[in-house]
C-alpha cells in the first residue's frame, strides 16, 4: 500500500487505498484500528488529532481562512475534556460553555470517533497517520476554490468529476455497492480525496496548513495536512 484515506461513517469507517502499482480499492470497517496498515503507508484521516485542554486550535482557524466562504465546514471548539462526556450532550455543552464556548451538536456527534482515534495515536504514529480535511483537499484540487456543499447534487457531481480528473475513476461502480453499508456517497468521495492527498505526501509532496507548531498534553501535534 502506498497511501490511504479514511473517513467516518454511520457504521464505522471507510478507507480508500492507493497502491504503488496503481491498484485502488476501498473497505468499510467497524473500527479505526482495523484499518491501520501494517506497512509504512501514509494515512490521512478526517478527524481531529491533538486536542487542547481549552480554547480553539490554531490549525482550525488557519484552515477556515483557506476555505474562505465555506469556512464553517471546519469545526471549532473540540477540546480534550469533552471526551469525558461522551453520550451526554447536555453535560458536554455545560462544560464547554464554562470554558468559554459551547459545543455544537455536529462536533459532539463525532466525539466517539475522536476518542477512538485518540486512543490509537501517539506522537511517533503521526509520522504516518495524519489529520486531514477533505474540504481542504478538494479546494486544492479545484485551484484554491471551495466546492458547493457535498450535501447537494451539484457538490457531489463536482467532487466526482474532480476526482476523475485526478486519476480516481472507479467511483461510479463503488457508489452502487454502498447501499446497506452505512456509508454514504459523500463519505466515499471524502475518503478518495484524502487518499489522493496522502499519495502525494507518500511521494514527497505534502501540503500542511500553515500555523504555529503546537502540541497537546499528550505530545500530539495539532496539524492539518491536505
| Contacts of 136 by beta carbon, 8 Å cutoff, 6+ apart | 63, 66, 67, 209, 224, 226
Q: Which residues are CB-contacts of 144 (< 8 A; sequence separation ≥ 6)?
A: none
Whether 97 maps to a domain, the answer reads no
CA distance 223 to 137: 14
> Strand 42-45's sheet: what is its strand order?
24-29, 12-18, 3-9, 42-45, 129-131
Q: What is the pLDDT of residue 3?
A: 97
The answer to whether position 179 is within a domain reads yes
Tally of domains in the chain = 1
Q: Decide if 90 is inside a domain.
A: no
pLDDT-derived band at 53, boundaries 50, 70, 90: very high
Q: Indicate whether 215 belongs to any domain.
A: yes
Residue 219 lies in a domain: yes
Residue 194 has pLDDT above 90, yes or no: yes
Q: Does residue 82 belong to any structural domain of this protein?
A: no
- 8: domain range? 1-76+117-226
**Burial (0-12, 13-18, 19+ Cβ within 10 Å), 92:** buried
Can you give the pTM of this predicted structure? 0.96
**Helices 153-165 and 185-202: angle between axes, nearest 10 degrees:** 30
Residue 95 counted as domain residue: no
126: in domain: yes
For the ranges 36-40, 67-71, 190-194, the lowest mean pLDDT is seen at 36-40
**Per-residue confidence at 1, pLDDT binned at 50, 70, 90?**
confident
Quick check: 21 pLDDT over 90? no
Cell numbers of 181, please? 453499508
Per-residue confidence band for 170, with pLDDT thresholds at 50, 70 and 90: confident
pLDDT, residue 159, reads 98
Closest alpha carbon to 3 in 18, 24, 25 = 18
Q: Is 19 exposed, middle or buried (0-12, 13-18, 19+ CB in 10 A)?
A: middle
Amino acid at each position: 500500500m502506498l497511501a490511504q484515506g479514511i473517513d467516518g461513517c454511520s457504521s464505522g469507517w471507510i478507507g480508500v487505498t492507493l497502491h504503488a502499482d496503481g491498484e485502488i480499492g476501498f473497505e468499510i470497517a467497524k473500527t479505526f484500528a482495523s484499518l491501520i496498515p501494517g506497512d509504512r503507508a501514509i494515512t490521512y484521516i478526517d478527524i481531529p488529532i491533538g486536542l487542547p485542554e481549552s480554547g480553539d486550535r490554531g490549525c482550525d482557524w488557519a484552515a477556515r481562512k483557506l476555505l474562505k466562504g465555506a469556512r464553517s465546514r471546519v469545526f471549532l471548539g473540540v477540546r480534550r475534556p469533552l471526551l469525558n462526556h461522551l453520550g451526554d450532550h447536555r453535560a458536554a455543552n455545560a462544560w464547554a460553555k464554562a470554558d468559554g464556548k459551547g459545543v455544537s451538536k455536529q462536533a459532539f456527534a463525532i466525539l466517539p470517533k475522536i476518542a477512538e482515534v485518540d486512543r490509537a495515536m501517539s506522537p511517533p504514529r503521526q509520522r504516518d497517520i495524519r489529520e486531514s480535511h477533505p474540504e481542504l483537499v478538494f479546494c486544492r484540487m479545484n485551484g484554491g476554490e471551495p466546492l458547493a456543499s457535498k450535501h447537494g447534487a451539484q457538490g457531489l457531481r463536482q467532487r466526482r468529476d474532480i476526482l476523475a480528473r485526478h486519476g480516481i475513476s472507479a467511483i461510479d461502480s463503488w457508489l452502487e455497492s454502498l447501499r446497506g453499508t452505512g456509508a454514504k456517497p459523500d463519505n466515499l468521495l471524502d475518503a478518495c480525496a484524502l487518499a489522493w492527498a496522502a499519495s502525494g505526501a507518500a511521494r514527497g509532496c505534502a501540503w500542511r496548513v500553515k500555523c504555529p507548531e503546537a502540541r497537546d498534553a499528550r505530545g500530539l501535534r495539532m496539524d492539518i495536512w491536505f
